[in-house]
Amino acid sequence: MLLCQQSAATSKVILTGEGADELFAGYSRYLHFGDDGAWRPGGRVASYLRAAHISPSLLPSIGRIGGYKAALQTKISDLSRGLKRPAMESFLVGVPESTPYRDAVAASQTSGFLQLTALDQKCFLEPMLDRQDKMSMASSVEARVPFCNPLLFDQVNPVPFSLKMKDGIPKYLLKKIGEQYLDHDLLYRRKKALIVPIEGWLRNGALSERLSLLTDKTARERGFYNSRQIEAAVDKFKRGEELPSRYLMSLISFETWMRMFIDQGALQHA
């Protein structure tokens, strides 16, 4: 939003890079695959254990062996950030049998990196594009996404994984193409994510009081929250137990939206 606000002062049309990571294997989670595109979470040792059909239950949860055990229990779908959303279903009632997540998993039964690519492109990229469109339109800025051209996806998706992630370098193919246009240091600098400190805001910051929105009388009477599950999650979070804060943030955002636009709208029309 801030970037679009600044851009509006000098340019009403901008190009952005959404889609490049999902198309050219730009995320660190793709390091779980070998050069041949085979899935190898936990490295070579875990791959040998998996090939030998060693049950994770036989391994102790200590030290490096515990890491191999965790790797053996990891599913490809666990790697995609866009697929963490199913945990939200436990906080809601009346979730339909068919959801974008379930449909995407059912449609991506290929093995290796192709499955993760399909899941990322369906479950992670779409909300990223939705967010960008909202933030740019709020500043009357036209944000174009040249990487999200269906013809480009058709051409690049079949490209072997070894050209997308090589020697631990993400987006290898795209960077090699970019060498004729951009400086080497810029192309191969370490990837940095924009981390929003939501957990700190919810625990000790400006958003800590917003947790009450999930447990008060108004929220309990909504009818589509699993109030008991949400209250237990909020209690765990307040006690410092591990819980992805983005789940609570999503619920808070939705409940805030309900009160601003649905509840107030109903009062105005009453």
Closest by CA to 256, choosing from 212, 207, 216, 213, is 213
N-term to C-term CA, the chain: 34
Structure pTM?
Answer: 0.73
3 CB-contact burial (10 Å; exposed 0-12 / middle 13-18 / buried 19+): middle
Q: Widest CA span of the chain, in angstroms?
A: 67
Contact between residue 161 and residue 23 where contact means Cβ atoms under 8 Å apart = no
| Number of Cβ atoms within 10 Å of the Cβ of 78 | 12
Where helices occur in the chain by DSSP H, the ranges are 2-7, 20-24, 43-51, 63-73, 76-79, 100-107, 113-119, 125-138, 150-156, 172-178, 184-187, 198-203, 217-220, 227-238, 245-257, 264-269
Closest by CA to 113, choosing from 150, 65, 151, 164, is 164
Give the list of residues 6+ apart from residue 135 with CB closer than 8 angstroms, or none.
1, 4
Quick one: pLDDT at residue 254? 92
Tokens 């229990």 belong to: 73
Structural fold of domain 2-39+75-192 = Rossmann fold (3.40.50)
Q: How far apart are CA 81 and CA 62, in angstroms?
A: 26
Closest by CA to 227, choosing from 242, 238, 217, is 217
Quick one: pLDDT at residue 34? 76
List the structure tokens of 126.
């779409």
Quick one: pLDDT at residue 163? 93
Q: How far apart are CA 24 and CA 172, in angstroms?
A: 8
Tens of pLDDT, residue by residue over 55-88, are: 777 777 776 676 666 666 666 656 555 555 556 7
Tens of pLDDT, residue by residue over 114-134, are: 888 888 888 889 888 999 999
pLDDT lower than 70: segments of the chain = 39-51, 63-64, 66-87, 95-111, 265-270
Quick one: pLDDT at residue 104? 63
Contact between residue 207 and residue 191 where contact means Cβ atoms under 8 Å apart = no
Domain coordinates in residue numbering, the chain:
2-39+75-192, 195-270
